[in-house]
Chain A
């Protein structure tokens, strides 16, 4: 049982390049989400999905796209990388059932640097 797997773990991009951060989970969780972590700001929600085919914006969605074609995968696309997107990105998943009291499982994070 791998849990939540993020790839790559590290990435350096040039300004203007695009890329996709991969997130996969094998726990059959309905909910998946992407966060970014910046120093002094905790984790902020970028996009989330409550099930296959359904996505919505979080607190800081600009510059990012997501799609959810399967339950397992929730990729995050950077359309045109900017230095402001230098951050650590976390993918998380949780069960729909159980409501507020079910913990979210996090991936190991992707450290992205845009130069």
Chain B
């Protein structure tokens, strides 16, 4: 079963607008972590933000925030005031509390910021 689902293959947003990238997850483990990574056209994976399953508040890192709705099992990434440099692939990932602590990734969303 798909553990991480990103339902938006592509999104187009005007510069300076806010954008929400969707991510839903599936786990029966009460302890887990959710991550967002950015992959620009150069190919590297850049860590953006983390949310723990026990965190009471939504995570924020600069222009990035994570809208964590535990009951709905969703962990959407919100980018405020988008910039041209935000154009990239974005991956949602989850790590469960097992010995291996493996990361499981979604299929990704390609975000394009238009000037």
> What residues make up the interface of A, taking CB atoms closer than 8 Å to B?
31, 33, 35, 40-45, 48, 50, 56, 58, 88, 90, 92, 94, 96, 99-101, 103-106, 108-109, 111
Are A106 and B52 in contact, CB atoms less than 8 angstroms apart? Answer: no
Is A40 within 8 A of B107, CB to CB?
yes
Within 8 A of A (CB), among B70-115: 91, 93, 95-97, 99-108
Which residues of B pack against A, CB within 8 Å? 4, 6, 9, 31-33, 35, 37, 43-45, 47, 50, 52-53, 91, 93, 95-97, 99-108
25 chain-A/chain-B pairs, Cβ below 8 angstroms = A31-B101, A35-B105, A40-B107, A42-B107, A42-B108, A45-B104, A50-B99, A56-B100, A58-B102, A88-B43, A90-B45, A92-B45, A92-B103, A94-B101, A99-B101, A100-B95, A100-B97, A100-B101, A103-B35, A104-B103, A106-B37, A106-B45, A108-B44, A109-B43, A109-B45
Selected from A43, A100, A104, the residue in CB contact (under 8 A) with B52 is A100
Q: What are the 6 A-B residue pairs with the smallest beta carbon separation, nearest first?
A: A100-B33, A106-B45, A42-B105, A43-B105, A103-B47, A42-B107
Taken together as a complex, chains A and B put the C-alpha atoms of A50 and B108 apart, in Å, by: 26
The A interface, classified by DSSP as helix, strand, loop or mixed, is strand
Q: Which residue of A lies closest to B108 (CB)?
A: A42
Complex Cα distance A35/B91, Å?
14
| A50 near B100: Cβ-Cβ < 8 Å | yes
Report the Cα distance A30→B14, complex, angstroms.
42
B57 CB, min distance to chain A CBs, angstroms? 14
The complex places the Cα of A3 from the Cα of B106 at a distance, in Å, of: 24
**C-alpha gap A32/B85 in the complex (Å):** 30
Given contacts A42-B4, A45-B103, A45-B104, 9 further A-B contacts (CB under 8 A): A42-B6, A42-B106, A88-B43, A99-B31, A100-B97, A101-B33, A104-B103, A108-B43, A109-B44
